[in-house]
Amino acid sequence: MFKELKNLLLLSDFGVVATEKILCIFKKNLNKKNISDTKIAIVYFKTLLLKMLTNSQKFEYCDFKKIPFVILIVGVNGVGKTTTATKLAYFYKQLGHSVLLAAGDTFRSAAIDQLVELGLMYNIPVFSKPIGSDSASVIFDAVNLAMQQKKNILIIDTAGRLHNKDHLIQELQKINRVIKKCLPTAPQEIFLVLDAGIGQNSIQQARIFSSCIKITGSIVTKLDGTAKGGIIFSIVNELMIPVRYIGVGEKITDFKLFDQKKFIDSFFDIGL
């Protein structure tokens, strides 16, 4: 059973460190609780995983009364930031909130066009400036506009250049400063977008970003692919970054709140 569980965790992208930690705690507790029946042990294993996840999955629920509620979307290129910013905007719009999107990635014209097109498609207003504009000035104006128009939520897409850590720190801190200049309590959320498809590399990205800025949650994308999603466990348990939403496809509605219980159950679909 231990060997099977170890294989299951490793094949599901939990990574070596988390796998060993989980199995070690599991074995100790089995002895303590005197469990010898395999079926009971597996049920207990699932409970233990859920408990480990829940203990670290701590965050405050969004208080949308603080208008505008500002959400900053960060992450490296290609992980799905722009798509996710739009999915999130659509998600909140369906709940009845007024949402504004801001095209903070001003380095590539394709990035601005992508957000503007998505906004048009789903009837969500997008604030943008021409390519090459200073990203901080786009963000400054977007926060002011959201305040003027009394929008409930402002979602800011950013560029994902990760030249080096110093550069990243400077850029993120500049954005943070600019937002606070307009609205000292903002951004209320800083969501880090991570691609489940790149497995353990996501952990490294999460480490770098959380050492630069206070990440309040992560959104894990591309869980519809071959990725088994075990990295979610490390993001939450090891890095203490709560996973808030997941992306499960390219369509606007392929987006869900992260459900811990369903997540744990999904690993046992194979009939263990």
Residue pointed to by tokens 């629920």: 61
Question: Which residue lies nearer to ligand GDP by CB, 178 or 194?
Answer: 194
Return the number of the residue (108 or 180) whose C-beta is nearest ligand GDP.
108
Residue 87 CB, shortest distance to Mg ion, in Å, is: 13
19 contact, one of ligand GDP, Mg ion, none, CB 5-8 Å limit per kind: none
Q: 153 forms bridges with which residues in the sheet?
A: 69, 99
In the set 73, 111, 183, 203, which binds Mg ion (CB under 5 A)? 111
How far apart are CB 103 and ligand GDP at their closest, in Å? 11
For residue 18, what are the contacts with CB-CB under 8 A and spacing of at least 6? 9, 230, 233, 234, 237, 238
Using DSSP's 3-state secondary structure scheme, residue 16 falls into: helix
Does 74 sit near ligand GDP (CB under 6 A)? Answer: no
Q: How far is the CB of 109 from Mg ion (least distance, A)?
A: 12
Closest contact distance (angstroms) between CB of 105 and Mg ion is 5
Stretch that binds ligand GDP, among 17-25, 75-83, 124-132, 181-189 (CB under 6 A): 75-83
Q: Which is nearer to ligand GDP, 8 or 156 (CB)?
A: 156
180: tokens are 């606070």
Asked if 146 and 61 touch (Cβ cutoff 8 Å), the reply is no
Binding mask 80-119 for ligand GDP (x = CB under 6 A): xxxx------------------------------------
Cα–Cα dist 69/67, whole Å: 5
Q: For the segment 194-253, give every residue that binds ligand GDP (CB under 6 A).
A: 221-222, 224-225, 247-250
Do the beta carbons of residue 220 and residue 229 sit within 8 Å?
yes
Instruction: Say if residues 56 and 22 touch (Cβ distance below 8 Å).
Output: no
> CA dist 95 to 36, 62, 88, 89, 261, Å?
48, 13, 11, 10, 23
Contact 206, 235 (CB under 8 A): yes
For Mg ion, which stretch binds (CB under 5 A), given 9-17, 61-69, 81-89, 188-196? 81-89
The answer to whether the CB of 264 falls within 8 A of the CB of 46 is: yes
Binding-site ranges for ligand GDP (CB under 6 A): 75, 77-83, 160, 221-222, 224-225, 247-250, 254
